[in-house]
Amino acid sequence: MISLDRMPRVCFAMALILSCGSVAFAQDEGDVVTPTAKVDLKVENEVVATAAKGDRLTVRMVQGKWLWVENAEGERGWIEKRRVSLVDDDSPPDRPSPPDDEAAPDDGPDDDPWLVTIGVLAGQNIYTTYAYIGAVADGYANDNYDGEQTRELMQETISLAEVAIEHLKTVQKSNIVESDKEAIDDIVEIFELLKREATALSDFTQSGAQEDLDAYEEARTTVWPRIKSVLQIE
């Protein structure tokens, strides 16, 4: 089954505007900030990462005095606004880090429902496409479909996979975090393998060649472990 808890996390939220003296704090989701001194990124009292002065952190959400940030390695956690300055600030203050005596919020932002929906539908699509190609192959082997019918069905399958790939790549170019882009890469690669499997089956119905049958088997046995991994199938 698809585990929603394992789906990529991303947030799109309106930030709160805060100004304090001459210090430039993050004002919006998407700002890039840097700590004014070494500081921990936290979830509640748990330290999930450490950021040094000069590190670039991208703000993903603003919640009161807290920023939900992501570092270059894709690690995310909460940091107080008072501990950072905007990267484009000409003269960020050089001051010691305040005492780290407060617990951060209990969790990061909720999964974006649109990306979760895309992930669920893409997962269902790759699973049913794999099963469909196998069912058509069995039908061809048992003379339920002739070569022309099989080729038509596989061309339709390839065309649908190409449409899915095109739209997934459009989402990938939008303002989403790197981990979500990597997850889309995985799905696109699976669709490409399914296209290869469908193409090999179509070619085999015309040629009857062992090399086309081998190509079909290679694609089939390669894509299934990838599908199991993405869908968390035991």
Domains (ranges, CATH) in the chain? 4-86 (2.30.30.40), 113-231 (1.20.120)
Quickly tell me which residue has 């700590």 as its tokens: 35
Q: How far apart are CA 67 and CA 29, in angstroms?
A: 9
Per-residue pLDDT tens digits of the chain, which is 234 residues long? 223 333 333 332 222 222 333 334 445 788 899 998 999 988 877 888 999 998 999 998 888 788 988 998 888 889 888 888 888 644 444 444 455 556 666 555 556 678 888 888 999 999 999 999 999 999 999 999 999 999 999 999 999 999 999 999 998 888 777 778 888 999 999 999 999 999 999 999 999 999 999 999 999 999 999 999 888 887
For CA atoms 97, 102, 107, 109, give the dihedral sign. Answer: negative
State how far the alpha carbon of 178 is from the alpha carbons of 8, 74, 150, 186, in Å.
10, 7, 39, 13
CA torsion angle 131 125 155 208 (round to 10):
-30
